[in-house]
């Protein structure tokens, strides 16, 4: 069974903001650089996964995503973005 190409998946990350992850967590996207090239698979969404720090949840670290919400090119993971985060 072949896996879908990342560039053929629907766009989930449409701009900066808070998003829900596959594992039920939260991610904040800080910037999305427009690629404009459908032949190149690039991870243009930059942001942070939320985690516990000194007794409260806040954005931690720095991560990258494909605009389809995938964090890894070859498989799904709990930190994939699946939709907008509703507070």
User: Domain limits of the chain?
Assistant: 6-84
pLDDT given at position 2:
58
Please give the pLDDT value at position 75. 87
- pLDDT in 10s for each residue of the chain, 87 residues: 556 678 888 889 999 999 999 999 999 999 998 766 665 678 889 999 999 999 999 999 999 999 999 998 888 999 999 999 987
pLDDT at residue number 4: 67
| pLDDT computed for residue 64 by the predictor | 94
Residue 7's SS3 state is: helix
Would you state the pLDDT for residue 47? 96
Angle in degrees, CA 77, 4, 19, rounded to 5: 40
Give the CB-side neighbour count of residue 21, counting CA atoms within 13 A: 20
């Amino acid at each position: 069974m072949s896996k879908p190409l990342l560039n053929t998946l629907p766009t989930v990350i449409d701009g900066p903001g808070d998003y829900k992850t596959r594992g039920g967590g939260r991610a904040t996207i800080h910037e999305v650089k427009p690629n404009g090239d459908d032949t190149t698979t690039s991870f243009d969404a930059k942001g942070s996964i939320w985690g516990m720090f000194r007794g409260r949840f806040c954005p931690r670290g720095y991560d990258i995503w494909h605009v389809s919400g995938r964090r890894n090119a070859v498989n799904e993971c709990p930190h994939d973005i699946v939709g907008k985060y509703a507070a």
